[in-house]
Amino acid sequence: MSPAAPHPVPDAVAYLTGRWAVERELLDLRTDTTGAFRGTACFARTGDDGRVLHVEDGELRWGDAPAVRAGRTLGLDPAPDGTAEVTFADGRPFHGLDLRTGRWTVRHPCAADRYDGTFTVVSPDEWHLRWRTTGPAKDHLLTSVYRRLPPADR
């Protein structure tokens, strides 16, 4: 991912709503094992409360292992100021999300590990996400590029 100037977004949930192509590179820094995820991310409203479900689905290749189907589901609860709270699929809190400056950093503790994330919006149709995970169980770097799919692919 090349550095890019952030693109401010006044409403995170409105910006993210839709379908995105996802390309993610994975690196285990302890073992020097690499991997990649290729797929889609769909951000769709679930009801009148503005809540959005974020569902990723695709193919994961890790090291020399055969490719497998992979995905994840998160929730986004919008706030009136344009920010959102991100939750795990079961409703547990994950992190806040504020894209009003076009860049957001977050830290999430998970057991003894720590997840440090950086969100960067680079245009109306592209954003980047970097997760650096450190701790006794993990030493990983994940870099993702999300590109909005054109209307014909939605």
What dihedral do alpha carbons 124, 26, 65, 73 form, nearest 10°? -50
Which pTM value belongs to this model?
0.93
Range of the domain at 130: 12-153
Residue 4 within any structural domain of the chain: no
Over the stretch 98-153, which tens digit does the pLDDT of each residue have? 999 999 999 999 889 999 999 999 999 999 999 999 999 999 999 999 999 987 65
- Could you tell me the CATH number of the domain that includes residue 22? 2.40.128.20
Count of structural domains, the chain = 1
pLDDT tens track for 39-60: 999 999 998 888 999 999 999 9
